[in-house]
Amino acid sequence: MSNETLQKIKIGISSCLMGEEVRFDSGHKKNTYVTETLSEYFEFAPFCPEVSIGLGIPRETIRLVTVDDEVHCVGTKSPDLDVTKELYQSADDQKGWHAELSGYILKKDSPSCGMERVKVYKSAEKGSMAEKSGIGLYAKRLMENFPHLPIEEEGRLSDPRLRENFIQRVYIYARWQKMEHEGFTLAGLQAFHAQHKYIFMSHNQNLGRTLGASLANSDKDIDTLALEYLGLMMTLLKSIATVKNHVNTLQHIQGYLKNDLDAGDKEELRATIEDYQKFLLPLIVPITLLRHHFRRHPKGYIENSYYLKPHPGEMMLLNHI
């Protein structure tokens, strides 16, 4: 685990979030958390689908409109400007480099890039009512093409738990891609599961058990088994890890030390986990204390677990949850 590569993971991102002046008004929406913090850990691949399909800078704004019970993307001033097919095609045209990504950060509310709750107007008429029920068309096709790819909007990254969830999914998905590149084996899948078992436990204990059981006695071919495992794993990881589940996970790991610690150390560890449960300490504190004890009393299974030894990019988040 200590030898895990520190090579930056490749992430797709809406160009405007990187400060590129590609918006309809020739402006940008630079996100400093992305450019100043996440850039230390991720290699960003900026892309603007609206520019890619030939819309100029500056340009007429576009919006999602219901046309004959289907969602189209049309000009706000020129309803005849319909770029629906072009935006879908743009996502399809990028599939080659999309396949190399381990995550994607999208611009919220965008008719091309919005991940959810994008305004959809009832008609192209001026003053038409809108509902926040849509998905940007480029984003929609991206998610259809890569249903397991970790995707998040920049606005939601301001929430520490959503941010932690996204970044953790990115790192786990990147490790999965590495295993896929090397070739799936049952032993490899079982080792992968063991390394992530406690992360899964902190998200959803029942699904975590189901995930482990899927590898126990399967007669499916390895590629089918791996695909089913990936789907269930990424569903599990979308569940936000809760304090309650973290406490259960920490206590479970603590059990490995029951014969190694004296009464004082046991009480200190118990009190630290309890203070985390009461929101008096961040998660990094009990994790750091457990790591200290396992350095003195090594356990092979724990040594291989990513829960106590996250990548530095994940580690920085534990101060905030």
295 closest CA partner among 57, 1, 51, 56: 1
Give the model's pLDDT for residue 6.
58
Looking at the structure, do residues 131 and 193 belong to the same domain, yes or no?
A: no
**DSSP string over 3-67:** T---PPEEEEEEGGGGT---STTS-----HIIIIIGGGTEEEEEE-HHHHTT--SS---EEEEEE
Looking at the structure, do residues 69 and 187 belong to the same domain, yes or no?
A: no
Looking at the structure, do residues 197 and 231 belong to the same domain, yes or no?
A: yes
Q: 268 in a domain, yes or no?
A: yes
Last residue of a domain, one of 119, 136, 157: 157
Looking at the structure, do residues 226 and 316 belong to the same domain, yes or no?
A: yes
Q: 133 in a domain, yes or no?
A: yes
Q: 3 in a domain, yes or no?
A: no
Domain that holds residue 312: 161-321
Give the model's pLDDT for residue 2.
40
Q: 106 in a domain, yes or no?
A: yes
Last residue of a domain, one of 108, 125, 157: 157
Give the model's pLDDT for residue 37.
86
Looking at the structure, do residues 35 and 147 belong to the same domain, yes or no?
A: yes
Looking at the structure, do residues 209 and 266 belong to the same domain, yes or no?
A: yes
Last residue of a domain, one of 110, 139, 157: 157
Looking at the structure, do residues 26 and 68 belong to the same domain, yes or no?
A: yes
* CA dist., res. 314 & res. 133, Å (int): 32
Looking at the structure, do residues 39 and 63 belong to the same domain, yes or no?
A: yes
The total of structural domains in the chain comes to 2
Looking at the structure, do residues 189 and 274 belong to the same domain, yes or no?
A: yes
Per-residue pLDDT of the chain (321 residues; tens, 9 = 90+): 444 445 789 999 999 999 999 999 999 999 998 998 888 889 999 999 999 999 999 999 999 999 888 999 999 998 889 999 999 999 999 999 999 999 999 999 999 999 999 999 988 777 788 999 999 999 999 999 999 999 999 999 989 889 889 999 999 999 999 999 999 999 999 999 999 999 999 999 999 999 999 998 778 899 999 999 999 999 999 999 999 999 999 999 999 999 999 999 999 999 999 999 999 999 989 999 999 999 999 998 898 899 998 766 555 656 655
Q: 79 in a domain, yes or no?
A: yes
